[in-house]
Amino acid sequence: MKHLKFLSSFSYGLVFVILAAFLWGIGGGIAGILLNHGWDAIVIAAFRACLGFLFILFWYVLRKQMNFQLNKSVLIWAVVAGIGMAGNIGFYFISISHTNVPVASTLMYTAPIFVLLLSALFKTERITPFKLLSALVVVGGIILLTGVYDTGRSTIQFIGVLSGLLSGLSYAVFIFGYKNSSAYGNFITVLIISSITESTILLSLSDMKQFLSIFEMDQDLVLFLILGLIGAGLSTFLYVIGLKKITAGIASIVAMIEPVTASSFGILLLAQALNFTQLLGMIVIIVTITLLSYHSIRAENHKK
């Protein structure tokens, strides 16, 4: 009976993480639509962040039994996580505006490579031959996906590729900050502080005139609300709840659904098609990152 109960708990935890990744992917597609309507990438990111923060705050108020545990270590690392969150979504939307949803979403998921590099830099993880090979293969996938070998590429396209990689790096910073802050306090404290940090950074970089004009545009306002609620609020809630039942390693593999969902959205609804070389690069990156995550899980379990 206990075994069946564990499987049931694991199953709905897995479903929650899958749904979260799916909603993140849809959020990227909605951002693509808003960018096509002329909205600035940072304005979109700021609105999404603010609405996501309000969702988290509302969730906290409803859960009265959950205490806010603030101390110096939590504050410092949660702010680092918030900086990572701001960079992740800000650079992601900038990348979409200069390339397209499939390219930007795939570049963002090079994050595990940056996590590997940060871990090596801070000597918290050893670089094995397999990990080094994985990193080199991902670099090859990036070259195929972005076509950086084409000397005829414009500066705008270069900015898009660079922003996509910076989005992945920022995601790695978020993971690093979140992991360290969680060691000193509960997740709701970390989420609130990091969300405040993210919203503050993005708002300070936004065109406030355009930001306020969102409330005057009925049709686009609906898209902004959907983006904020499912792309930042509900998805975060589902992901955090899911992580209580499955490991972060498994969640990182399942989260690969996001670039696949976002890419499908971009290709099917925004007509942002990839050529064969780009598609090959995308597959190389996603498969390699998935194998790297799986390898990391097995290595971690072996240590235990």
Query: Domain segments of the chain: what residues?
Result: 66-303
- Residue 12's pLDDT is 65
- Residue 294's pLDDT is 67
One pLDDT digit (tens) per residue for the chain, 304 residues: 444 344 455 466 677 878 888 888 888 889 999 999 999 999 999 999 999 899 888 877 777 666 777 788 889 999 999 999 999 999 999 999 988 888 888 888 777 777 777 777 766 667 677 777 877 787 788 777 776 656 555 555 788 888 988 998 898 888 788 878 878 877 788 888 999 999 999 999 999 999 999 988 778 999 999 999 888 888 877 877 776 666 555 666 666 677 777 777 777 777 777 778 878 888 888 787 777 766 665 665 555 5
3-state secondary structure the chain: CHHHHHHHHHHHHHHHHHHHHHHHHHHHHHHHHHHHCCCCHHHHHHHHHHHHHHHHHHHHHHCCCCCCCCCHHHHHHHHHHHHHHHHHHHHHHHHHHHCCHHHHHHHHCCHHHHHHHHHHHCCCCCCCHHHHHHHHHHHHHHHHHHCCCCCCCCHHHHHHHHHHHHHHHHHHHHHHHHHHHHCCCCHHHHHHHHHHHHHHHHHHCCCHHHHHHHHHCHHHHHHHHHHHHHHHHHHHHHHHHHHCCCCHHHHHHHCCHHHHHHHHHHHHHCCCCCCHHHHHHHHHHHHHHHHHHHHHHHHHHHHC
- Residue 7's pLDDT is 41
- Residue 191's pLDDT is 86
- Residue 265's pLDDT is 72
- Residue 201's pLDDT is 97
CA dihedral sign, ordered 93, 97, 98, 103: positive
- Residue 28's pLDDT is 87
